Amino acid sequence: MNPVSPSRRRALRLAAAATVALFLALVLRFWHPVYGLTSFYQLDAPNDDLKIAAFRALPVYVHRHTGGYDGLYYAQIAHDPLLRGGELPRAMDNLPYRARRILPPALAWLAGAGQSAWIIHTYAWLNIAAWLALAAILWRLLAVQDARGWLAWAGVLFSAGALGSVRLALTDLVALTVIAGALLALERGRKRSGLAGLALAGLARETSLLAIVGTVHAPWFSWRNAARLLLAAAPLATWLAYVRWAAGPADAGWSNFTLPLVGLVEKWIAAMGALFSVADKPLAWTTLLATAALTVQAVFFAVRRNPADPWWRIGAGYAGLMLCLGTAVWEGFPGAATRVLLPLNLAFNVLALRSRVPLAWLVAGNLTVFAGLLSVRDVPQDPHEIAASRIGGTSAVVRTGAGWFDHEQSRRHRWQWARARGELTVERWARGGRPLQIEFSLRSLAPRTVVIRHEGREIFQAAAGPAFTHHQVALPAAMARTITLEFATAEPPVLENAAPGARELGFALYDLRLAPAPP
């Protein structure tokens, strides 16, 4: 292999740095000053009443208009990884099944030192840390020296499975990172570390154990190979026995499998049909491309047979798994299969790069990146939230309630009008922090008086007119978790203009923010 010139090495490092920066920019768009990255958990309204006490006491983002997903279960298990409390069964769809994948929740518990206030955030950051670790490991596995190597590297990192795991706080990317680290250790002669890593990966996702086929050697049916399989499976088997004792029997998960090719054919039919029936065309097209990419990866291992190569055996093993995946794994946009088959994606890129196949293989096999980028396209927004702050030990979010027109904004201001009255709710999470106050401006088209009431008692009064007036109102120091403030005026509203359908407006609330109350 020709040595890499210093200029090319610098260019590759710059490309790698730009790739990492792009990833961080994409995922950190989801950060919220109060909720952090807990929107990744996909806690939805139906599960809001079932969540564990830590999720009730600490700020966790609730999706009001989209469904929940599995990350919310693993994030809650992270608060009790030994399954000893009585809260988890009620909060889970199937605790014995979810508890199998204990490695990520346990890592989040360790990173959070067992403190719920830290664990609530450490689990959300776990996949980001796994992505960064995978980027470093994969750079060495692929020995990136040119644009083709960078393409294979980025193809894994920005795949639908990798970014989908980050976006939904799942266990798949952690499993892949451990697998990649284990295989790198094996290639460098550290057999015990490699085998231990593969065994550990099984505690993040059970199908990770299939990667053990890369460590077996001819003759295939030997005591040595059997011992490797048993050692790799021992931690998961031991943990499953503990889960059965602590949480009861679990669904074996056989419904995730079906007869060979049935699930894949169903997925192709559904993906093609979605092009004509789904309004979100980027969602439909990227799902089709992801399905095509997984198919290309499986075909690659079928047509370029090389059982002597460990990476071929790993890829062929996961290609066989792919053919048996059932509807539950394939359905959706793009579907859980992109995450389940992350090791196939890894093996494909390693082997395709090392065997110097035509570039078309690499491009076609990495078409899942479009679905990956789409998975981090939409940042959830609460249309009623107008302020959020974390001040000392106190966090608070302010939302508009009944009586307000839709939010409006310019480059300098954000405001909402009310006809005669409007409600604000303030939700606060306090850990001994100082009291807060709200700071805002008032404006109206005609002179009037605006009052604020809390529980029917007037706590503020001010004159408003066409010019801005600035105000501060201290929130009750001993306020409940959530309070409601009523803004109201007794003077009649006026029309905003002479146009047909003009609104009747009383007063506008401008640029509300939270700040520490003075001592």
Q: Which amino acid is at 340?
A: V
219 vs 131: CA distance, rounded Å: 36
Q: Which ranges constitute the DSSP H helices of 29-146? A: 45-48, 53-57, 71-77, 88-91, 95-98, 103-111, 116-142
What is the reported pLDDT for 2?
Answer: 60
465 vs 507: CA distance, rounded Å: 8
Dihedral sign of CA atoms 289, 259, 329, 107 in order: negative
What is the reported pLDDT for 1?
Answer: 52
Q: What is the CA radius of gyration of the chain?
A: 27
What is the reported pLDDT for 222?
Answer: 84
* Chain centroid, CA 124 distance in Å: 7
119 vs 395: CA distance, rounded Å: 17
What is the reported pLDDT for 434?
Answer: 72
What is the reported pLDDT for 66?
Answer: 86
Domain boundaries, the chain: 23-375, 385-516
Q: How many residues does the chain have?
A: 519
CATH class of 385-516: mainly beta
What is the reported pLDDT for 244?
Answer: 95
Bridge partners of residue 441, in order along the sequence = 470, 510
Q: Which amino acid is at 471?
A: H
What is the reported pLDDT for 432?
Answer: 64
Q: Pick from 248, 242, 161: which is nearest to 205 by CA? A: 161
What residues contact residue 418 under an 8 Å CB cut-off, 6+ apart? 403, 404, 405, 487, 505, 506, 507, 508, 509
What is the reported pLDDT for 433?
Answer: 64
Torsion angle (degrees, nearest 10) of CA 270, 274, 278, 284: 110
Token pair for 399: 């939302």
Strands 469-474 and 504-505: unpaired
DSSP 292-330: HHHHHHHHHHHHS--TTSHHHHHHHHHHHHHHHB-HHHH
Q: Region of 57 please: left (phi>0), alpha (psi -120 to 50) or beta.
A: alpha
Residue 499: φ, ψ to 5°: -70, 150
Prediction pTM value: 0.94
Residue 435, preceding bond cis, omega within 30 degrees? no
Strands 494-495 and 504-505: antiparallel
**If you ran DSSP here, which 8-state letter would residue 490 be given?**
S
Q: Which regions in the chain score pLDDT beneath 70?
A: 1-2, 252, 432-433
What is the reported pLDDT for 247?
Answer: 94
211 vs 206: CA distance, rounded Å: 11
What is the reported pLDDT for 252?
Answer: 67
